[in-house]
Amino acid sequence: MRILVASHTYIVDINREKFKILANLEPDIEVTIVVPRRWKPGGVQNKIIETQFCQQGSFKVVPVSNFSQNNQGLLTFGTDIIKLLQEFQPQIIQVEQGSKSLAYTQLIILNKLLKLQAKNILFTWWNLSYELKWPISVLENCNLQNTDGIIAGNLDGSKILHQRGYTGMMEVMPQLGVDETLFLPTGKDADLSLKLGIEPTDFVVGFVGRFVEEKGLLTLAESLAGLKKSSWKWLLVGQGKLRAHLEEKCIEWGISDRIIWIESVSHEAIPPYINLMNCLVLPSQTSYKFKTLTTVGWKEQFGHVLIEAMACKIPVIGSDCGEIPHVIGDAGLVFPEGNAAVLRDCLRQLMERRELAADLGDRGYHRAMTNYTNKALAEQLLEFYKKLL
């Protein structure tokens, strides 16, 4: 089985693990990842990345010349992709840029012109309803009409594409799995606890991610402000523009001395911080302030940090925003987004009922190992491909 995957996501090596595993599941599988030769991610890493060719057995990453260096929808590839397609002769062509992307249109057209007869697959995260105007509406319609299978990163995304007229095969699974060799239960690092001023009696509430309004940090702060009689610390790992305002509110609510800020931590360095936590909270809230050329709004598309905490046996609490409840299942606590009182009750339960916390930690670990490791996702993906072929 010859599989070609195109996406800017895989300019980062750690994001390729699922496909490296897939390439070794059966002897006849070959996986080629096409990535933009030059890409500017934006945000924290606001510099152009120049990707390099690499190969490990039947898995390889091939940088291809590209137009647009920082827009997912406008990304397209240069003529060197034609030679690659002719030589590789893929049976599966998977483009992970969404249903409205020009790159997907380009690969669909090349598939036809080169008479490859490959199955066209798209991946999408988008999980809010939207209306499109011409010519984007025509572009998406053409893409969907020529699609053999869709992988949606969340349940809402699959429902939306069904509503938009797609009737073919669809699988719901995240784009990236958790690395269980990196995120694993290790217990609390005593030296790190001492360095951060965490006492053995402190219940450590954790958050990992962007400090932005839609992540619900003000709701979590308000919840913790109502638990001053309990011994807790709030460990925040990440960075973002909300920090200054959040610091002001924590001072106002009298909890600033319990906050621990950790910034600029690489992904590989996060596990020791997660293992310091007694629970991890993802209190995301739907926002309609976010806008692109074709869509308005944001809600949590998956919540990858949840499965990283679950892999460490850390109990999780999440809001009911977007995909969070489906990721957690029965392996954690879920509260209505924006509801500080219910979140406070969830925190109190874990603080006072250590047996519940331990049970949820065990459940979360089992759920992560069963459903969300890169190997589990690679196996799920292979079964999907076999159904299509």
Give yes or no for a contact between 277 and 205, defined as CB atoms under 8 angstroms apart.
yes
**Is 56's pLDDT higher than 70?**
yes
CA-CA-CA-CA torsion sign (291, 292, 294, 295): negative
pLDDT given at position 69: 83
Which residues sit opposite 46 in a β-bridge? none
Give yes or no for a contact between 232 and 203, defined as CB atoms under 8 angstroms apart.
yes
Contacts of 364 (CB under 8 A, 6+ apart): 309, 310, 313, 314, 315, 316, 328, 331, 332
* 72 C-beta neighbours (distance < 10 Å), count: 17
Q: How far apart are CA 238 and CA 263, in angstroms?
A: 5
**Is 101's pLDDT higher than 90?**
yes
Amino acid type, 389: L
Q: Output the pTM of the full model.
A: 0.94
E strand spans, 211-328: 232-239, 259-262, 279-282, 287-291, 296-298, 316-319
Angle between helices 102-113 and 80-88 (to 10 degrees): 50
Mark residue 316 as left, alpha or beta (left: phi above 0; alpha: psi -120 to 50; beta: remaining): beta
Q: What is the pLDDT of residues 37-55, one digit of tens each?
A: 999 876 545 678 899 999 9
pLDDT given at position 47: 77
Give yes or no for a contact between 327 and 302, defined as CB atoms under 8 angstroms apart.
yes
- When pLDDT is averaged across residues 77-81 and rounded to a whole number, the result is 97
* pLDDT interval class at 68 (50, 70, 90): confident
Element (H, E) at 222: helix 217-225
pLDDT given at position 143: 96
Amino acid type, 32: T
Contacts of 70 (CB under 8 A, 6+ apart): 39, 40, 41, 42
- When pLDDT is averaged across residues 59-88 and rounded to a whole number, the result is 94
* pLDDT interval class at 361 (50, 70, 90): very high
30 burial (CB, 10 Å; 0-12 / 13-18 / 19+) is middle
Q: What is the pLDDT of residues 159-196, one digit of tens each?
A: 999 999 999 999 999 999 999 999 999 999 999 999 99
SS3 state of residue 193: helix
Mean of pLDDT over the chain: 95
List, as one string, the DSSP characters of 310-324.
Answer: HHTT--EEEESSTTH
Q: How far apart are CA 145 and CA 256, in angstroms?
A: 54
Give yes or no for a contact between 23 and 59, defined as CB atoms under 8 angstroms apart.
yes
State how far Cα 249 lies from the chain centre.
29
Contacts of 165 (CB under 8 A, 6+ apart): 141, 144
Q: Which residues of 180-206 are buried (b: 16+ CB within 10 A; e: fewer)?
A: bebbeeeeebeeebeebebeeebbbbb
- When pLDDT is averaged across residues 90-119 and rounded to a whole number, the result is 97
